[in-house]
Structure 1
Amino acid sequence: MNTSDPPKGRRRAALLLAVITPVVAELTLGNPPLSQIWLLLLFIPIYGAGTLLIRELVRRRRGGWPSILLLGLAYGIIEEGLVLQALSSPTMYGAAGWAPRFLGLNSAYTELNLPYHAVFSVALPILLADLTVPSLRDRPYLKRAGLVVTAVIFVLGGLLLRLTVATSIDPGYQAPAAMLAGCVAAVALLAVVALRVLPPVASHSRAGAVPGPWMVGVLGVLAGFGYLALLFPFGGAVQPAFTHGAWVAAPMLAAAMLAALTGWLVRRWTTNGGWTDRHSLCLAGGALAGHTAFGVVANAATLADKLELSALGLLTVILLTLLGRRTGTGSIMKPTGRRKGPRTFRAGMM
């Protein structure tokens, strides 16, 4: 880390990331509605500290986006499996009825929420923070003491959600010890792979065609909206994509294929020499627009909620457009050499 960077600048960047994380993951999806925006105070400790902690660990390791996404999956397991215990609860949100349970897990709910956390609770906030403060994109924001404080806040944030949200929505449920142990083991495995097995990023790129930023944005819209629409039962449906019985396997498979195809395309494009920060911004903006559009369709309960969420989506587009005007032609997602240093859809916080 370059110690010549003003500490206040790094602290501001850390605070920015901590604040925008629950906004991206929860508010722009309609959780909570704007009329209850004060509930974000419950989300900031675990969301903000969790994503900041992931960014700091990966930057110190000189890791890349695969490491961030794997730790994002680990974050999802911590929140959904250990804190809220919604991955295994037979009653919370009615998720046990979405699809057949597998190894004690609510299968469709798990497929929906773990990738959601990896992308919308972790990767996109980090990407937006790095685009907003490009001078610090390759460096940690915090010193060692700040990292320790962030970890403590993350743990306390998990306890806060456990004592408030989990006990009010699903009182009395306690996940089996084997399930909790499995979640801990999965988190440990993902952390080891992300921080010890995956190599640090290298400075290289290959020749190849990259579509225009707006086409990348369209992919973000389709992937963001499509993945949620395939897996979350809405519009009166009791299973994903209005299926019945064993047909629920079809949208679950389609969602997995959509995620795999999107990941393959983004990976292919970001290793090409033509990928720029504007592509990254359009990808993030498209994904946010798609998931907010889904929130309007499936999550907002009243007309007022739909109008408020639509206005928030429009404001998000405006802010990202302003950010785009100051975004250069470098690349934040290509590897670069770095110095060490009613039922509601709560895909982020269920």
Structure 2
Amino acid sequence: MVTSRARGRWAALLLAGLTPVVAELSLGNPPLRQAWLLVLWVPIYGAGTVLIRELVRRTGGGWPAVLLLGAAYGIVEEGLALQALTSPTIYGVAGWAPRIFGLNSAYTELNIPYHAVFSVALPILLVDLIVPGLRDRPYLRRTGLVVAGVVFVLGALLLRSTTALIDPGYQAPPMALAAFVLVIAVLVVLALWFVPRSPGLPATAPGTVPAPPVVACLAGVAAFGYLALLFPFGGARHPAFTEGGWVVVPMVAAALPAVAAGVLVHRWTSRGAWRDRHGLALAGGALVAHTAFGVIANGENATDRVSLAALGVVMIGLLALLARRTR
């Protein structure tokens, strides 16, 4: 019989491997022909998400804590390691929208929530559904937690070193780096000590929730709309094919529904009618829409688009198998 400790280690490894697949590969970044790049990203993505889950489970936090730490993770990756939040050259993102206090505003709005949801929350949710017996417990002991933290730091340093190849010569201003560190510290403190604690029991608040297909559709619309409003695609240089000051329209249009979706999900998940099949529908709808957007926006050629679409079909099949198991 596999011990609980061994199951926890396997679950942690599954989470570490799944995270960059969900966050990057299933969006077509990188394309499947460059999937080997995931090896470079597992240390920061995988160890980062495992570290977040372990901290939240140890402190009794819930999904608000996961999302806050996911936002902190996004700032570590994009602000400290890649330094894409402030770089005037990397990926051309400085031209998406006006730079505010040296920040690439539209890129920041897109990527910090993206990492909180797709790099952290959804992988954790999926592994909780795959290994339901461990969902309320840490996967690792203290030594494993320390190892995850060390690997995460080394992964961030590795990512920083490789960034010199795509953004040579850029170094974020010290004031910007200090501000990022301060915001990360605030988010960590809020997540681990101030957000409401999870009771560790099923939700019992009265009220109904939409059927799983409705949840999946709403999650898909929200995910696709958020990405499409903020990420320039189809030859556009600015979000949603805007020009000049009009870029504020898609930025506001993306923020308001995202907040509304967060409020709805928080309300639904607190009700007794919310079940695992709803959680899987939420994750599945967001992931399928996210890959569909990648096919449209990230494919450099027909081969990339077809291969990403094929990956999407495989993902739908795996989600359907998990749905059968969940029922």
TM band (smaller chain): over 0.9
Aligned equivalents of 1:269 and 1:34: distance in 2? Answer: 36
Amino acid at match of 1:129: V
**Which 5+ residue runs of structure 1 have no aligned equivalent?**
329-350
**Which 5+ residue runs of structure 2 have no aligned equivalent?**
none
Aligned residues: 324
Within a 5 Å distance, the mapping from 1:172-321 to structure 2 comes to: 172-202=169-199, 203=201, 204-321=203-320
Higher helix proportion (structure 1 or 2): 2
Within a 5 Å distance, the mapping from 1:1-350 to structure 2 comes to: 5-164=3-162, 166-202=163-199, 203=201, 204-328=203-327
- Structure 2 residue matching 1:89: 3-state secondary structure: coil
User: Normalising to structure 1: TM-score of the pair?
Assistant: 0.91
Consecutive aligned runs of 4 or more in structure 1 exceeding 3 Å deviation: none
- Structure 1 residue matching 2:147: 3-state secondary structure: helix
Once the two structures are TM-superposed, the CA of residue 290 in structure 1 deviates from its matched residue by: 0.6
- Structure 2 residue matching 1:326: 3-state secondary structure: helix
Aligned equivalents of 1:145 and 1:179: distance in 2? Answer: 33
Once the two structures are TM-superposed, the CA of residue 171 in structure 1 deviates from its matched residue by: 0.5
- Structure 1 residue matching 2:326: 3-state secondary structure: coil
Q: Decide which moves more: 299-308 or 204-213.
A: 204-213
Once the two structures are TM-superposed, the CA of residue 18 in structure 1 deviates from its matched residue by: 0.2
Once the two structures are TM-superposed, the CA of residue 5 in structure 1 deviates from its matched residue by: 4.8
Amino acid at match of 2:126: L
Aligned equivalents of 1:121 and 1:302: distance in 2? Answer: 26
Amino acid at match of 1:167: A
Q: CA RMSD in A?
A: 1.0
Once the two structures are TM-superposed, the CA of residue 234 in structure 1 deviates from its matched residue by: 0.8
Once the two structures are TM-superposed, the CA of residue 208 in structure 1 deviates from its matched residue by: 1.1
- Structure 2 residue matching 1:210: 3-state secondary structure: coil
Once the two structures are TM-superposed, the CA of residue 271 in structure 1 deviates from its matched residue by: 1.2
Q: Decide which moves more: 261-270 or 119-128.
A: 261-270
Aligned equivalents of 2:312 and 2:140: distance in 1? Answer: 31
Instruction: String of CA shifts for 1:173-218, please: whole Å, max 9, x gaps.
Output: 0000000000000000000000011131134532112110000000
